[in-house]
Amino acid sequence: MAEDASVNDRLFFALWPDPDVQARLASLAAAYEGRRVATENLHLTLAFLGLTDTDRRACYERAAQTVPFVPFDLVLTEVQWQRRRGIAWMAARGVPAELTALVSALNDALRKCGFTPEARPFRAHVTLARKVRRGGRVEPDPIRWRVDRFWLVSSQLAPGGSRYTPERCWPTPA
């Protein structure tokens, strides 16, 4: 019997930029020779959940409803490239207190569903390219991003790269 795809969704929570911010981020990836992240997939991961069954997903969604959220501006200021890992990304030099509080509250809420947060400290960044073989030094203008919600996103693995679909957001727009 074929397995129902909705039973084991690959999920994560993320900040999802508007198309203008995504386009500005994508233009920076052109400086790197590698596999660029598709413009429509550019995001900032808050918590990677992995393969998730229907019951666990419902728990994660209930948990997200309890997370206090205050809109904030995130300013991405620097592009970095790690040759050894082959990844280029844009990062925020300073992480807004509201983002730090969001990640902490989200992790605390998800723990009640059996989620184990990353042991590494949270780093606010957007991956621009993977498998980077060469890159130039990029001095970008800061990108100001107004964050007014966070998203549950599904990920489908495909030969040309993953496809991400924002599924649900919090707070829910009025």
Surface-to-core class of residue 174, CB atoms within 10 Å of its CB (0-12 exposed, 13-18 middle, 19+ buried): exposed
Catalytic residue among 17, 26, 37, 43: 43
The answer to whether 134 and 32 are in contact (CB under 8 A) is yes
Q: What is the DSSP letter of 14?
A: E
> What is the spatial distance between Cα 16 and Cα 99, in angstroms, rounded to a whole number?
13
Instruction: Reply yes or no on whether 22 is catalytic.
Output: no
Instruction: Reply yes or no on whether 101 is catalytic.
Output: no
For the chain, the distance separating the N- and C-terminal CA atoms, rounded to the nearest angstrom, is 41
Catalytic residue among 10, 35, 125, 130: 125
Active-site positions read 43, 125
